[in-house]
Structure 1
Amino acid sequence: MIEKLRLWLAAEANSRFLTEPPYGSYAEAAEQFVRDLQNSPLPQSIAEQVKAHVYSTLVTIVELRTRKILWELSQGREPKNTTAEEERLIRPLLKILRARPHRREAQEYVIVQFVTPHPAIITEDFKQIGPFNKGDLAKLPPRDAKDLEERGVARLLRLED
């Protein structure tokens, strides 16, 4: 059991993503450990040291895996190879992740060049940019670019073939 946990910890430490856990849940690992310890003829003092070592190893595994899960979620991805406890943890977070509006893609922006100085603006996607000097370039949502162009403040740059 201890070797199995050691290998799991090494795999997690050496991987950017979650590795396949050797147990379906942390509870299953704990139950297996308790059974193994009860059947062991170890003296009490050594058994206590083994418990402390196993506890420390499991806590480190949980910490590493939790960080990986949060990183994957922050990247908009659903973590794979999760334990039962991790599934219960991330299920509500995944619901929120799936319900949030998707970020605009880069191709939904256009480039404008300012033809006059202009103060800072807040774009339709709630980003504050500027202020601008004559000749400055900016990447804007099309609606904001069109508004500035219609007011004679900026001109839309188009790629020519």
Structure 2
Amino acid sequence: MYYDVYKTWRKEVESRDLQELPPNFYERVILYIRELEEKCERLEDPTMVKLLEEEKRNVKNMLKQLIIKRASKVIGFVFEGVEIDYKKLTELDRSIFKVVESILRPKKGEKGEVIENVKESEKSLEGPPHESDEGVLVLVRFIRDVPEITGIDLREYGPFKKGDVGTLPLANAKLLMKRGFVELIESKRNPSK
């Protein structure tokens, strides 16, 4: 089962498209994690317990990353207006899709209003910008460890260790600065925008 989880996780992470999951995938993985926990409780050999706990930790991490990656793709597809192959959606994906679609996709007669309202709300939270934030990357120093994140531009950034220097979209950098994870070094225009 470990290899199945790894193979599924790797395919999802390496592809821009949403991958079709094997039937009952999440249920089977959760059952597998429970089995590992039960084995750990029964075993008396500390080395075997350590190995099984490490395996359990790895499976949980892959499952978490898989769920986050799929949610990120679904949100990105809704935001971009990309058609989604519903056969590839799990129940969890469908729930995320419905919520995000109801927020981001305008209803008839509201063309663009919903997305504009979301953008305005984000700007008011960040404070008044002096120039357009779109396409602005900032150079930051990481004050604390930060796991891999999906930027507002839907690109992957990180993971970063304390003391690392890297670039992030301005909106993401502002949020991380407010929370004490980074300090600003400088900003530059994103040449791909």
TM-score category, normalised to shorter length: 0.5 to 0.7
Q: In the alignment, which residue of structure 2 is the partner of 1:55?
A: 60
State the Cα RMSD in Å.
2.7
CA pair 82-49 structure 1, distance change in 2 beyond 3 A? same
Q: In the alignment, which residue of structure 2 is the partner of 1:85?
A: 92
Separation in 2, partners of 1:9, 1:61: 6
Larger RCO: 1 or 2 (CA < 8 Å, sep 6+): 1
Separation in 2, partners of 1:15, 1:30: 24
CA pair 33-23 structure 1, distance change in 2 beyond 3 A? farther
Separation in 2, partners of 1:54, 1:91: 28
Residues 36 and 52, structure 2, Cα contact 8 Å, conserved in 1: no
Separation in 2, partners of 1:83, 1:8: 14
CA pair 38-23 structure 1, distance change in 2 beyond 3 A? farther
Q: In the alignment, which residue of structure 1 is the partner of 2:124?
A: none
Q: 1:87 deviation in Å? A: 1.4
CA pair 39-4 structure 1, distance change in 2 beyond 3 A? same
Letter in 2 for 1:84: E
Q: In the alignment, which residue of structure 2 is the partner of 1:15?
A: 15
Residues 23 and 29, structure 1, Cα contact 8 Å, conserved in 2: no
Q: Does 1:64 align with 2:72?
A: no
TM-score using structure 2 length: 0.45
Q: 3-state SS of the aligned residue for 1:21?
A: coil
Residues 18 and 65, structure 1, Cα contact 8 Å, conserved in 2: yes
Q: Unmatched 5+ residue regions in structure 1? A: 104-161
Residues 8 and 21, structure 1, Cα contact 8 Å, conserved in 2: yes
CA pair 93-25 structure 1, distance change in 2 beyond 3 A? farther
Q: 1:98 deviation in Å? A: 5.9
Deviation per residue, 1:23-82 (Å, 9 max, x gap): 435344212432366468782211111111111111121222122111101111353312
Q: Does 1:26 align with 2:15?
A: no
Separation in 2, partners of 1:58, 1:48: 15
Q: 1:15 deviation in Å? A: 1.2
Q: In the alignment, which residue of structure 2 is the partner of 1:125?
A: none
Letter in 2 for 1:92: V
TM-score using structure 1 length: 0.52
Residues 25 and 85, structure 1, Cα contact 8 Å, conserved in 2: no
Q: In the alignment, which residue of structure 2 is the partner of 1:99?
A: 107
Paired residues in the alignment total 103
Larger radius of gyration: 1
